Chains A and B, each alone.
Chain A
C-alpha cells in the first residue's frame, strides 16, 4: 500500500546522464568534534520507524537506527551495513546474511541475529500494523527469517524478487532486549513515542537522542558505540552533536540558512530561491550544488473511474486516448518549463524522468507541440467548436469544460495549472482551476470526486517494483482509477502482467526491457500527462564538509556520519 507517498520517502535515484556528478565537499582530514545545525519542517511524531512513515520519522531512523544493508543515495549501489556480506540462492528467494562481529547497541548490549529476527517479526506483526510492512512484502507475502547462529540470518522470500536485498533498506533493525516486552503486550506501535525519555531509546545509528523540545528542536549526540570508522581507522561520526531545528516556514528557513543560523536544510531549494542563494555563494557563505533532474514530475489526470463517471456525458470523450493525446499536443513543454520552473526544468513524457537513470527510457512516444494535430485529434472524436464560443463540444452540445483541482499555496502548482489552462484553451478545452487545501484535495482524490487534478505524487521507490500501487490496476495509488477489482481496460491488464513479470525477474536487462514496454503502453494511453521535471538544487553552509548530495531525501543527512565542520573546537 505504501506506493506513492506525498511525503516522498526512501529510494530516489542518481543524477541523470546530462547532470553533473555530485560535488562532494571533501576535507582531506576531517576535523572531529563540533556541532552541525540542520532544519526540519515537521515535528517528530514518534521515534519508532515502524509506527510512521513521514519524512521526519524516516530521517530520525536514518540517524539513530541501523539496517542490514544500505542503498547508497548517491551511487544507488547496495552496500553492506550491519551485514558485512551475503549469499543469494540462484532462484533469488533465499538470502543468507552474515552480520559484522562485535557490534553493540548504544547501551552496550551485543547485537545478534536475534535482533534481526525480532525486527522482521515486529514489522509484519498485524497488531503493530506497520506501514513499512507492505514495502517489504514479496508477492504480497511476508518474508521468513531464521537464525542458524548469532551472526547469520537467512531470509526467504515467497517468490523471486527483482529488487532482492534492496528491500531491506526499508527495514529498521530494532533492539529486541528493549522492545520485545512491548511487542508481546501488543503495544509496540505506541513504544518510543514523542514523549519517551531520550535515555530509553537505544539504537545502532551514528547519533543518539539527547533532547526533544516540541516546537523548537531535536538534539542528537554522537553514539560512542557506533560501528563505522573513518579512513583513519578512528570511529565515526565526526560530529559531536547534530541539532535539528524545527522551522516550518520555508522562507524563514532560507533566511536562517543565509544568516548561518542553520548549516543545511532537509529539502531542495525552490526555483524562486536560486538567485539569493547564488549571491550567498559568491559571498562565500553558502555552497550550492546541482543535484540533477527530479525523479518526479507534476502530473495532470482525469478521473477515469467508470463506476463514478459513467453518467457524466463528458466521460464519453475523456475516456478516449485521443482526447488526452490532444491535450498533450496542445502543451508547449519548453514554454511550460520556462514559465513554471523559471527555466530550471526539462520536458518529460512519462512518470519516469531522466533523473531516474536506471529506469528512464528515452524512446517513449512523444507528443510535440502541435495545435493543428491537437485540433484534428479532437475533431476525430467529434469535438468541435460548433457554437463559436471557443470551447469544443460534442454533437449533443456537451462542452469540453473541466474543473482542475490543485493544492493551494504551492507556487509551481498554481503556475503549472495556469499555464496548462492557457495552452489547453488554444485547442478549445476549457480548464477552470480551483486551488484547494491539501486535506480537501486528498478527500476528493480518494473519492474520485473531481474532473481533473494537477499535483506531483512522489514515487516511494525509484525501482518500479517498489511502486506497485501506481502501476497495478489494483493499486491504491493508480491515480486515475484506484483499486480496481479487475483491470478496467485491456492496456491496464497488459501493464499488470508486465509489472508482475518484471518484479519477479532476476536479470536486470530483462527487467529493464519489460519495464520499457510498460512505459510505452502508458505513454500511448496517457492516463496521466506529464510536462516537465525540475532540476533540483541544494545549498549548505560552506563550513560543512563531507556532504555527498543526493537527489533523494534527505539530500545530505543520509550520510550524516561522515559530515564534519571546519571550525570544530
Chain B
C-alpha cells in the first residue's frame, strides 16, 4: 500500500510540474502578452514596467527557471488582473469549485448509476427507452447551451438566482445564512455540470450491466431462485461497476478542476472561470497556478478512482 501511495504521489508531482510548466511556457510563447490589457496605446513606460514585473523582459526559459525557483519557496508570483499574489486567489477559487464539483458529482452519481442499473438490467420497455433517450440528449448538448438555457429559465421565471454564488450581504447574517444562500445559488451550475456526467455514468453503467447479464455466474444465481432485485444489486452490479470506477477518477478530476463554460456563464467564482480569465488576459502566473491546481485536483481524482477500483475489484490489488 505504501508503494502504491508513493507511486501515486510521485505521479501527482510530475503531473503538476508538467502541466504548470507547459501552461506557463505556452502562455509565454503565444502571440501577445498581458500588456495588451493596458490598452492598445498605453504609455510605453507603463508597458515596460509591466513587462519587467511579470518577467516578460527575460527569455522564456529564464522566466520558467525563475518561476520554478520561486515556486519551490511557495511564491507563485502575482496576478496582473487581480494585482495580488496568485496563491490565495487560486485557493479560494479552488474551494468554490470543489464545493460546486462535489455537489455536481453527488448529483450525477446518485442519478446516473441507479438509472444505468435500471436501463442496463432491462432489455426493452418504454421507461428504459425514455431514460436512454434523455441520456443521449444530455450527452449531445454542449455545456454552454445547457448553462445558458438554465440561466435563461432562471432569469425569466425567478425560480432560482440567474448567476453568482452568493447574494450581497448574505454573509452579514452569519454562517448559517451564508450556507443557505450558497445552497440557493448551487442548483443551476451544479445541474449544468452534473447532467452530462450523469448521462455518461448512466450509459457506461447500463452497457456494463448489459455485458454482465449474460455471464454464467448470474445464470447460476438465477437458477438458485434469487429475486431479481437481489440478483441485480448483489451479484451483477458489483461486477458491472468496475468500468464506472475506472472513469470515476477522471470525472472527479475534471469536475474539481473547474469548468470554463459553466462557471463563466453562471458567474460562479471558481477555478475554471479564473483560468479562463487568466488565459484571455495572458496573466501568465495566474495561468500557471490555475493549471497546477487543476493538475493537483486531477491527480486527487485519479487517486480516488484507483482506490474505488481497488475496492470494487480485488484482482487489481494483486497487480
Chain A interface residues toward B at CB < 8 A: 1-7, 35, 37, 42-43, 45-46, 53-54, 129, 131, 134, 193-195, 213-217, 219, 241, 243, 245-249, 251-252, 255-256, 258-261, 436-443, 445-446, 457, 469, 476-477
> Hey, which chain A residues are within 8 Å of B126, CB to CB?
none
Cα separation A194 to B49 with both chains bound (whole Å) = 18
Q: Which residues of B contact A249 (CB under 8 A)?
A: 264-265, 267
B274 located at the interface, meaning its Cβ lies under 8 Å from any Cβ of chain A in the complex: yes
The answer to whether A245 and B31 touch (CB under 8 A), given A1-B41, A439-B36, is no
Q: Are A261 and B164 in contact (CB under 8 A)?
A: yes
A5 with B168, Cβ < 8 A, contacts A194-B82, A437-B32, A440-B32 known: no
Question: Do A255 and B163 touch (CB < 8 A)?
Answer: yes
B138 on the A face (CB < 8 A): no
Q: Can you show 9 pairs from A to B with CB atoms below 8 A apart?
A: A4-B41, A45-B83, A129-B46, A245-B164, A245-B168, A249-B267, A261-B164, A439-B32, A476-B44
Binding site for A on B (CB under 8 A): 30-34, 36-37, 39-46, 49, 80-84, 89, 92-93, 96, 148, 151-152, 154-156, 158, 161-166, 168-169, 264-267, 269, 273-274, 277, 280, 282
* Cβ contact within 8 Å between B84 and A248: no
Q: How far is the CA of A215 from the CA of B46 in the complex (A)?
A: 25
* Bound form: Cα–Cα A247–B155 in Å: 15
**Inter-chain contacts of B30 with A (CB < 8 A):** 440
Select the residue from B30, B41, B80 with max chain A CB neighbours within 10 A: B41
**Which residues of A lie under 8 Å from residue B161 when comparing CB positions?**
261
CA distance A6 to B152 in the complex (A): 31
Q: A216-B165, A260-B158 are in contact. Are A438 and B93 (CB under 8 A)?
A: no
Residues of B contacting A256 in the complex (Cβ-Cβ under 8 angstroms): 155, 162-163, 267
Q: Is the CB of A216 within 8 A of B166?
A: yes
Complex Cα distance, B154 from A477, in Å, reads 44
Write out the residue numbers on chain B whose beta carbons fall within 8 Å of the beta carbon of A53.
Answer: 39
Q: Please tell me if the beta carbons of B33 and A439 are within 8 angstroms of each other in the complex.
A: yes
A1-B41, A43-B81, A252-B151 are known contacts. Are A217 and B168 too (CB-CB below 8 A)? yes
Alpha-carbon separation in the docked complex, A194 to B37 (Å): 17
B84 touches A259 (CB 8 A): no
* Interface contact B83-A193, CB-CB below 8 Å: yes
User: Contacts A1-B41, A193-B83, A194-B82: A129 and B49 contacting too (C-beta < 8 A)?
Assistant: yes
B274 contacts A215, CB within 8 Å?
Answer: yes
Residues of B within 8 Å of A42, CB to CB, are: 81
Complex-state Cα separation, A440 to B31, whole angstroms: 5
Cβ-defined partner of A6 (8 Å) among B31, B41, B80, B82: B41
Do residues B41 and A443 form an inter-chain contact, with CB atoms below 8 A? no
Chain B residues, CB < 8 A from A3:
41
Is the CB–CB distance between B32 and A243 below 8 Å? no
- List chain B residues, Cβ under 8 A from A457: 40-41
A445 to B35, CA, bound (A): 13
A2, A54, A194, A247: which contacts B267 (Cβ < 8 A)? A247
Contacts of A46 in B (CB 8 A): 83
Question: B41 to A469, Cβ gap below 8 A?
Answer: yes
Do B41 and A252 touch across chains, with their CB atoms under 8 A apart?
A: no
Known A-B contacts: A54-B37, A441-B32. Give 17 more (CB < 8 A).
Answer: A1-B42, A5-B42, A131-B42, A193-B84, A194-B82, A195-B83, A215-B269, A245-B164, A248-B264, A251-B265, A252-B264, A252-B265, A252-B266, A255-B152, A439-B32, A439-B36, A440-B30
Task: Given the known inter-chain contacts A215-B93, A256-B163, please indicate yes or no for A251 contacting B46, CB distance below 8 A.
Answer: no
A129 and B47 alpha carbons, distance in the complex (Å): 11
Rounded to whole angstroms, the CA-CA distance of A219 and B171 in the bound complex is 12
Residues of B within 8 A of A469 (CB): 41
Query: Which residue of B41, B80, B265 is within 8 Å of A476 (Cβ)?
Result: B41
Q: How far is A259 from B49 in the complex, measured between Cα atoms in Å?
A: 43
- In the bound complex, what is the Cα–Cα distance between A42 and B280 (angstroms)? 12
Which of A54, A246, A438, A476 contacts B32, CB < 8 Å? A438
Question: Which residues of chain A have C-beta atoms less than 8 A from B80's C-beta?
Answer: 45
B39-A7 in contact (CB<8A): yes
- Compute how far the CA of A259 lies from the CA of B163 in the bound complex, rounded to whole angstroms: 10
How far does the Cβ of B254 sit from chain A's closest Cβ, in whole Å?
21
A259 x B155 contact (CB < 8 A): yes
Shortest Cβ gap from B193 to chain A (Å) = 16
CB distance from A250 to the nearest CB of B (A): 11
Bound complex: CA A345 to CA B93 (Å): 41
User: Distance (Å) between the CB of B98 and the closest chain A CB?
Assistant: 15
- The residue of chain A having its C-beta at the shortest distance from the C-beta of B31 within the complex is A440
A243's partner among B44, B168, B265 (CB-CB below 8 A) is B168
Residue in contact with A129 in the complex, picked from B45, B83, B280, CB distance below 8 Å: B45
Contact A443 B31, CB 8 Å, known A6-B40, A214-B89, A216-B164: yes
